[in-house]
Chains A and B, each alone.
Chain A
Amino acid sequence: MSVPHKVGTVKSKQATNVKAPVAKVVKAAGKKKDEEEATDTAEGEEWMPGKTLVKPPDQLDLTEEELNEEITRVLTANNPNAPQNVVRYGFKEGCYKPIIFVDQMAIHFELEGNLVHKESDEGRRLMAKQAEREEGTGAEKLDNVAKAGEKERKLTNQFNFNERASQTLNNPPRDISCQTEPPPRANFSATANQWEIYDFYVEELKRREKSKEKQEGQVLNKEEDKSKKKIIQAETQSDDITQLAHAAKIIERMVNQNIFDEVAQDFMYFEDAADEFRGEKGTLLPLWKLQYDKAKGLSVTALCWNPKYNDLFAVGLGSYEFTQEERGMLLFYTLKNSSYPEFIFNTTSGVMCVDIHEQLSYLVAVGLHDGCVAVYNLKKKSDQPVYNSTASSGKHRGAVMQVKWQKDDLDSNHNFISVSADGRVVSWTLVKHELVFTDIIKLPATDKVPDDLKDVIATAGTSLDFHKQKDHHFLVATEAGKIHKGSKYYSSKFLETYDAHFMTVSRVRWNPFHPNVFISCGWDWMVKIWDQTIKSPIFTFELKTSVTDVAWAPYSSTIFAAITNDGKVHVFDLSINKYEALCQQKVVSKKTRLLHIEFNPVNPIIIVGDDRGHVISLKLSPNLRKKPKEKKGQELPKGPEVEIAKMEQLLSSLR
């Protein structure tokens, strides 16, 4: 039996105003209940006497539908007595304004308390009064209190406790004031009129139109020149990368120096201490080994140190075999970056000789296997030589074996001299954009050639060297084993001829100090030292295989180094030992031939080139670099005179 409970018939404090309608509903419900009860009782319990409905006189007569109507009552927290639409006069607007938020609080009960906070003024006053009262009445309590106090005071008497106080020094207060700089100000004035505004707008529109036109024009151009723009973009991109090039170069050098740090340290500072115990002998300490991938298969055909930059040297790569493919390279290495060459030039034919100009260290002359000579300018970035000799301008008909720069001629044109396998010694002058050649002399034919063929069969020149002081004197060596001394001013015949070797003379060089001495080496296993005034050699050394190159040391007139086919470097010092080498050291592996050797003009190192395209640098140990011993008390005279004197001493001892 479910009695429908109307929503809102829950008893509430604030149901006072809904009393009347609730009462109605209750009555209605009550009536219905009664009816239901009546029906139920009629069904369930028949013994109950039927109840008669008593309607109060003022009850509403509602129809069935009206009785069944669901009336929802909503319970809100609003104060029913509060006004719902309050309107106040607003002086600002000058009109009546409705107030939306009306106070809904209804106070049912209010009781004022008499608690006072003890910290407040009133509380303290009260406490003080209370204390007075207590003092008056609590006399008997004093004894207890006193006793307690005494006990406490006993603990704090002077024998057990001491009160001490002190005052630290207070720093005197100081007034500091500061004024920041005010933010900067500026004045501005203008007038705002209608015409000013209009004028400005018109100007702005004009400006915008112009910029639009420009943009349109640019768009058209863009469509036409897309390719150009691409190129420009690519260029700017490459500019960005080339700007990195300098930094990358420095980093590359640093990385290499870090990797080969020990080598660099050895190069600078290592002095073999064992030399003291070795007597006269010395050693060669291998330093860097420089090689270039693309140079595989090529032999080192020429080496030349740069006179200005002591760590830069040129390597000419080519081939001594006639059958091998014709290609060549000119590489420049620096000791600061031993892993990759600084400059690379590819040549159409094998490079046979290289020479760097003494003053202008960017001018490099090369002689090629096909008889051309070319001049490269290192300052220019191009791969091509600045000057090149062609068939028309009198190039050699045979491989150019040696080139040497000369002093600038009277017209201050640079010039150099070359000797080649066709037997001609030619001087080349750099005139504007051309190479102009002048035959200096032709090598005389060998005795074995019959007279009528003398003009046809040439004597190949293999080496050329100019005197250090009298640079019109030069020595040229031939394949036939002769050395000719000539002069630039005499073109018909040679001043002297020396029968030097039985086989090809591979190198002839003047002594850097003594004006009369020169050295030659040949494939007949001999190294010979000559005085130019004497027809026969002063010193002869036999090394066990053919000697490919020999070089004087720039710091001493009696030291020279020779390299042989078996990969050995022989270093001699005539002032110490006239018969034997101070050092005979194998610097390359088997089957590799050493082809060229050069002394560094400043540092005590030598570079040797082999037939695999590798260049090895070696450091001379102290025994190989000896200067003449000084007598105690005497000042050691320095300079070339000493060296000349040393040599002279040697020579005189032999005469």
Chain B
Amino acid sequence: MAETVDGKKDEADYKRLHSFPLIRHTDMPEEMRVETMELCVTACEKFASNNESAAKMIKESMDKKFGNSWHVVIGEGFGFEITHEMKNLLYMFFGGSLAVCVWKCS
């Protein structure tokens, strides 16, 4: 019993510890990267229950800021193979269990 309680505590702990936004892979320039990361964090926090709205918000803002044809995928379990324009890819983790992939390809 104590172990499961501890186990749950650990789970909660890691969720807390790992909830900071963490960039897994990117080739964006510094400024663009920071801005995009902030945008993703904002969107995910705003639409915490609805991945589609969060993705929609991210995509529309990226289109406006950095040019047409951005693609956004948010989820907890998926695999992908994409072709992206160089220096326009961001793949990050957030909230301990969410993965966000943003890329541009017209």
Give every chain B residue within 8 A of A186 (Cβ-Cβ).
Answer: 27, 83-86, 89
Q: A188-B82, A188-B91 known; A201 and B77 CB under 8 Å?
A: no
Stretch at the interface among B31-39, B46-54, B56-64, B97-105: B97-105
Verify if B65 is at the interface (C-beta below 8 Å from A).
no
Distance (Å) between the CB of B39 and the closest chain A CB?
19
Give every chain B residue within 8 A of A191 (Cβ-Cβ).
Answer: 78-80
Give every chain A residue within 8 A of B84 (Cβ-Cβ).
Answer: 185-188
Verify if A189 is at the interface (C-beta below 8 Å from B).
yes
Assess the B83–A201 pair: CB atoms within 8 A: no
Give every chain B residue within 8 A of A193 (Cβ-Cβ).
Answer: 77
A residues 168-217 in Cβ contact with B at 8 Å: 183-194, 197-198, 200-202, 204-205
A-B pairs with lowest CB-CB distance, top 5: A192-B99, A201-B18, A189-B81, A191-B79, A184-B86
Beyond the given A185-B84, A197-B97, please list 8 additional residue pairs across the A-B interface where CB-CB is below 8 A.
A184-B86, A186-B89, A187-B82, A187-B83, A189-B80, A192-B76, A192-B78, A192-B99
Assess the A192–B79 pair: CB atoms within 8 A: yes
Distance (Å) between the CB of A193 and the closest chain B CB?
5
Q: Which of under 10, 10 to 19, 20 to 34, or 35 or more describes the interface residues of B?
A: 20 to 34
Most buried by B among A190, A198, A202: A190
How many positions in chain A have a CB within 8 Å of any CB in the partner chain?
Answer: 19
Give every chain A residue within 8 A of B18 (Cβ-Cβ).
Answer: 197-198, 201-202, 205
Give every chain A residue within 8 A of B9 (Cβ-Cβ).
Answer: none
Total CB contacts across the A-B interface at under 8 A: 74
Assess the A185–B101 pair: CB atoms within 8 A: no
Nearest residue, chain B, Cβ from A192 = B99
Verify if B8 is at the interface (C-beta below 8 Å from A).
no
> Given B77, B96, B103, which contacts A188 in the complex, CB threshold below 8 Å?
B103
Assess the A201–B17 pair: CB atoms within 8 A: yes
Q: A183-B85, A185-B85, A186-B86 known; A201 and B93 CB under 8 Å?
A: yes
Assess the B101–A192 pair: CB atoms within 8 A: yes
Assess the A200–B93 pair: CB atoms within 8 A: yes
> Given A184, A185, A188, which contacts B25 in the complex, CB threshold below 8 Å?
A188
Distance (Å) between the CB of A185 and the closest chain B CB?
5
Nearest residue, chain B, Cβ from A183 = B85
Distance (Å) between the CB of A189 and the closest chain B CB?
4
Most buried by A among B14, B89, B99: B99
Most buried by A among B25, B97, B101: B97
Give every chain B residue within 8 A of A185 (Cβ-Cβ).
Answer: 83-86, 105
A205 to B105, CA, bound (A): 33
Assess the A194–B76 pair: CB atoms within 8 A: yes
Verify if B12 is at the interface (C-beta below 8 Å from A).
no
A197 to B99, CA, bound (A): 8
Nearest residue, chain B, Cβ from A187 = B83
Give every chain A residue within 8 A of B75 (Cβ-Cβ).
Answer: 192
Distance (Å) between the CB of B87 and the closest chain A CB?
9
Give every chain B residue within 8 A of A202 (Cβ-Cβ).
Answer: 18
Distance (Å) between the CB of B88 and the closest chain A CB?
8
B residues 1-57 in Cβ contact with A at 8 Å: 14, 17-18, 22, 24-25, 27
> Given A184, A188, A190, A194, which contacts B97 in the complex, CB threshold below 8 Å?
A194
Assess the A184–B17 pair: CB atoms within 8 A: no
Give every chain B residue within 8 A of A197 (Cβ-Cβ).
Answer: 18, 93, 96-99
Give every chain A residue within 8 A of B22 (Cβ-Cβ).
Answer: 200-201, 204
